[in-house]
Amino acid sequence: MKPLKHILISSVFIFSNIIFAQYTEVINSNRPGMSRSAFSVGTNVLQFEVGPYYLKEERTPLPKYEVSGLGVDFSARYGLFLEELEINIEGNYQNDTFTNFSTFTTENKRSNFRYLTVGAKYLVFDPYKNAESQKPNLYSWKANHSFKWKSLIPAVAVYVGANYDTKNNPYTASGIEGFSPKIMIATQNNFNGGWVFVMNLIKDRIGTDQSDFTYILTLTHSFSPKWVVFGETQGIKSDFYADNLLRFGGAYLWDKNFQLDTAVTFNTKDTPSVLNLTFGASYRFDFHKDKDIDNGNSAEEELERKHRSKGSKKKKKRKKDINTEEKKVKKRKRKDEDF
């Protein structure tokens, strides 16, 4: 029989979408992939995710150029009011050197936000909510790893946000400035054996000359309580830029609130070719309290109440034992006196 930790593996290690509820006992990070989970971090959970990266781009056909530099992806997520609701701020800041080889070789130092977005995500449908079939079977390894048709029904979340772009940003189309809307639909399927599939459909900078449509497909696999690997494809299409990116990597759960990750991103074309290496981390401040449905108490308060109750019962039992012993002693004394 498999060890219990392998039976429960898919509910023990949470990375980039491996979850069966909103709040989880271990950190639920979107890193190191670019897709977004359908689920939130949980109410009163503040989470930071950051990933410095190295970038190299080369365009071989004319106009020939090269881009090399450093950047950082970052996000702050917070579960607000409802388990299904999350507000967040996400961004990407890059500092690079653009070298143009078309006629004369020229270099141009660039730095700015590739994107900076504030938004909110809400889970509109959760097929795993209150589902008895999602609870692990402690007596059957096969039952926990066999395919379930219900897993084909995804959880669905919607996202609405606003981008902010500064004037003369080298990473956006000419004339892009100020605020523009962003919307997304995120779906998530959790399969037995630690497999999770996430799909994002995104419409970005709506109403501008750089109105991107992006899809992201991510498959992750947790093969131990500490390690996870993933593969991802990302397609981008607009009049300003189009690409198909491939991304692979993994993450390590340091402890329940801290995760480390790494990934490599590349494409298969030369207009331009892309190579991106990233190392990141995610950390959460967990102020979450589960509410007990029956009495309105949090899980921690309920546990403390039970401990107090047990302690009180033990005290009463000790007191009863002492009184019984005292009675026995007095009874023996009376017998000795009568004798």
What CATH number does the domain located at 22-286 have?
2.40.128.130
Mean pLDDT of the chain: 84
Which residue is listed with tokens 């002492």? 322
Return the closest-CA partner of residue 27 out of 192, 198, 251, 216.
Answer: 251
- Residue 132, classed as helix, strand or coil, is helix
The pLDDT of residue 294 is: 44
Distance, in Å, from the CA atom of 265 to the CA atom of 93, rounded to the nearest integer, reads 17
The pLDDT of residue 138 is: 59
Which residue is listed with tokens 């400035």? 177
Return the closest-CA partner of residue 122 out of 202, 213, 39, 188.
Answer: 39
Reported as half-sphere exposure (CB side, CA atoms, 13 A), residue 246 has a value of 5
Report pLDDT digits (tens) over 39-69: 999 999 999 999 999 999 999 998 899 999 9
156 pLDDT tier (thresholds 50, 70, 90): very high
Distance, in Å, from the CA atom of 64 to the CA atom of 58, rounded to the nearest integer, reads 8
Torsion sign (Cα): 287, 187, 201, 277: positive
DSSP annotation of 131: -
Distance, in Å, from the CA atom of 254 to the CA atom of 261, rounded to the nearest integer, reads 10
The pLDDT of residue 312 is: 56
- Residue spans per domain, the chain: 22-286, 299-338
Helix (H) or strand (E) holding 164: strand 155-165
Distance, in Å, from the CA atom of 197 to the CA atom of 34, rounded to the nearest integer, reads 13
Distance, in Å, from the CA atom of 135 to the CA atom of 140, rounded to the nearest integer, reads 12
The pLDDT of residue 149 is: 73
The stretch 168-189 carries a mean pLDDT of: 96
The pLDDT of residue 330 is: 62
The pLDDT of residue 13 is: 40
Tell me how crowded residue 331 is: count the other CB atoms within 10 A of its CB. Answer: 10
18 pLDDT tier (thresholds 50, 70, 90): very low
The pLDDT of residue 167 is: 94
The pLDDT of residue 14 is: 37
Distance, in Å, from the CA atom of 221 to the CA atom of 32, rounded to the nearest integer, reads 13
